[in-house]
Structure 1
Amino acid sequence: REDQIISEAVDFCGLVTQVYTDLGFEDVSVKLALRPDMRAGDDDVWDRAEQGLRDALSEVGLEWEELPGEGAFYGPKIEY
């Protein structure tokens, strides 16, 4: 459900961050892959999805690099 995007992404990012920390990785780069030219869905849905992932990354306290055009055809994605 759309209303769960941020909370689920926050939980996931927290889990991944903890796993990397437990394994001794200290300098993990995070990237946010944004909408490609060829994609499903309309811009309004993409705007909400991309902003939801940004909000989740901010809430977890992660810094990230944005990669315009590198998202999957079905949605943006967080890459570690």
Structure 2
Amino acid sequence: MRQQLLSPRFARDNAAAVQASLSPARRAMVEAFERRIASSQVHLVDERCPCGAADDTVVSEIDRYGLPLTTVLCAACGCLR
């Protein structure tokens, strides 16, 4: 799997900076969700592309809240997942 992040903002090591910019209420919700991930109450699932291809490019390692959500672009069909 190739990696071509859309911006340095989407790198996993930038998660703390992204979360620091959140409002206190959103930061509390993000921290609660991270605790649920750490305690295995929530499981992140790695799914193959619906088209069946395995030629993906990582475009983001975190979501807009700094959560560890890797987003990939399928080279075959253009699906973001």
**TM-score normalised per structure 1:** 0.30
**TM-score normalised per structure 2:** 0.30
Q: Which has the larger radius of gyration?
A: 2
Which has the bigger relative contact order, CA under 8 A and spacing at least 6? 1
